Structure 1
Amino acid sequence: MVESMESTRTDLALLAVRVVVGITFLLHGLDKLGDLSGTEQGFDGMGIPAPGLMAPLVAVLETVGGIALILGALAPLFAIGLAIDMLVAGLTAHTGNGFFVSDGGYELVLLLGVAALGIAIAGAGRFSVDATLRLGRRVPGYPGGERGTLA
């Protein structure tokens, strides 16, 4: 019973983190999709290679990845991509600006990147599409496979 309560708390914590981080990525991705030309120009100004390819790729990753985190659908896979996205953003756009986001610093990308990395390592939790599909039990090494499912 105690183990079950602890497991439920962990799964609720993963749900909360997934939803908040997912909404944040979704909104940032939609913002980029809404102005792909501006996103491409911004990427070009930061020295990101192939900005014409990278701008839509990042916009779609953040949009679809955000939805995937919210639903907990292939969450660890999308979370890895989003963590890498934040690493690149931190290194290209924020490193020289200090810590605080208000100064253009890396505060937000660090927080989002580490949260995404945590999801990639821990898995989506019991309250997710991944758990409903039992991916953790069907796919060897899939994060979160040792925890139960809703069904």
Structure 2
Amino acid sequence: MASISPAFSLWTSRMLSVLRITAGFLFMQHGMQKLFNFPAGGHSAELFSMMGLAGVLEFVGGLLLIFGLFTRPVAFILSGLMAVAYFMAHAPQGPLPIVNQGELAVLYCFIFLFLAVAGAGDWSLDAWRQRLAARR
């Protein structure tokens, strides 16, 4: 079992990066729908509204997560955004996420909370900046 461990530890940080990139890409699309009505079928929001602010945070935050730039603070803010979204929009409709259609908000909330604690992973601008600073 000990011989398998180095392979797992090598891929742990890489898969953390894959999780971050995938979550950021999917989350960014929610912001694109709110801000640009793209992809079609979205619901545009006025920029200076609560939905507009959510759209900006989703789009910019998702983009920053894709590149792994400022991952910890961005993920923490997005986790809070999803907690607020759940309790404002979903929780009043029923007690359980499966009933109130809040599963995605809960899942994003905890993925982002995990990224805020775990960091960006190897494949990120944050890791590149750390390697650059260590060389100096």
TM over 0.5: yes
Secondary structure of 1:76's aligned partner: helix
Q: Aligned-pair distance for 1:106?
A: 1.4
User: What displacement does 1:3 show?
Assistant: 6.2
- Normalized against structure 1, the TM-score is what? 0.71
Sequence identity (%): 33
Deviation at 1:70, TM superposition (A): 1.0
Structure 2, unmatched stretches of 5+, are 38-42
**Residue of 93, 108, 113 corresponding to 1:112:** 108
C-alpha distance in 1 between matches for 2:66 and 2:120: 9
- 1:45 matched residue in structure 2: none
The answer as to 2:9 corresponding to 1:13 is no
Across the aligned residues of Structure 1 and Structure 2, the Cα RMSD in angstroms comes to: 2.8
Provide the secondary structure at the position in 2 that maps to 1:69: helix
Give 5+ residue unaligned stretches, structure 1. 41-50, 139-147
TM-score between both structures, scaled by the size of structure 2: 0.78
Counterpart CA distance in 1 for 2:16 and 2:63 is 15
Give the match for residue 94 of structure 1.
90
Matches within 5 A, 1:1-151: 4-34=6-36, 38-39=44-45, 52-95=48-91, 96-97=93-94, 98-100=96-98, 104-134=100-130
What amino acid does structure 1 have at the position aligned with 2:97? Answer: F
Measured in 2, the distance between the counterparts of 1:61 and 1:85 equals 8
Higher mean alpha-carbon deviation, 12-21 vs 121-130, is at 12-21
CA shift at 1:89, angstroms? 0.5
Distance 1:72 1:92, change over 3 A: same
Which 10-residue stretch deviates more, 83-92 or 7-16?
A: 7-16
